[in-house]
Structure 1
């Protein structure tokens, strides 16, 4: 969920030139990572949002497969948009629907073996990229003045 200005708090005083430079560098680094992520997904035959959905489903599946609503919440999209996305992933053979054992009306989403393989490749690539960006991100974050 996106934090509101009130939740984040007001900055103390006026930003300095160093603050502006740090913010610009941080945004550029995030945008480059985002661009890297989109290209990596496309190279695996996935649209970026499909990759994000698979990653969310995997992350949420630690205890039980997530519901469509859980996926929608993680992707910051409406449930009906998540249904369409999950339908496309299903047609691609990447997800399957499961009945909730406790509530037969609820549908759970699980990854297929094909999705697990694609996601493992993408996640390893993303972790390597983050590892290479770590020193720069840490430097930028350390430079944020409270």
Structure 2
């Protein structure tokens, strides 16, 4: 059963803020696409490396965890891992505590690639300070 909402319509300023946010986000993503390809990996391969290294409290992640982080299907992530394995960027091993799980770790080549790309991404984000802002979500609140 649908409920009637009392939300206020979005203002022109709301649309401008959303559009500006999406524009800056897209510019950063385009930068990422270009810089990763110039360094011999795809944007998705870079994200895989980043999510392995950036996984909280350990130096590896499972295929399922990486699928969640990448917002991708399990079988697609398995194929991505296979491609990265062939490039010498990552390695897989069976989890010694849970044989059903596969751990994915960075290899030295993956660590070096990620370090270089992450530095470039961080520099780009720093250059966007003040330009890349999240819209004021209070202005989107239905309770105003």
How does the TM-score come out when normalised to structure 2? 0.85
Residues 103, 32 of structure 1: CA spacing in aligned structure 2 closer, same or farther, 3 A cutoff? same
Q: Is the Cα contact below 8 Å between 1:60 and 1:66 reproduced in 2?
A: yes
Ranked by relative contact order (alpha carbons within 8 Å, sequence separation 6 or more), the top structure is 2
SS of equivalent residue, structure 2 residue 8: coil
How does the TM-score come out when normalised to structure 1? 0.84
Which among 66, 88, 108 is matched to residue 61 of structure 2?
Answer: 66
Residues 11, 22 of structure 1: CA spacing in aligned structure 2 closer, same or farther, 3 A cutoff? farther
Partner residue, 1:41: 36
Runs of at least 5 residues in structure 2 that lack an aligned partner in the other structure: none
Within 5 Å, give how 1:3-14 maps onto structure 2: 12-14=7-9
Higher helix content, 1 or 2: 1
Partner residue, 2:70: 75
Runs of at least 5 residues in structure 1 that lack an aligned partner in the other structure: 1-9
What is the RMSD computed on CA atoms of the aligned residues?
1.9
Structure ID, larger Rg: 2
For residue 63 of structure 1, report the CA deviation from its aligned partner: 2.0
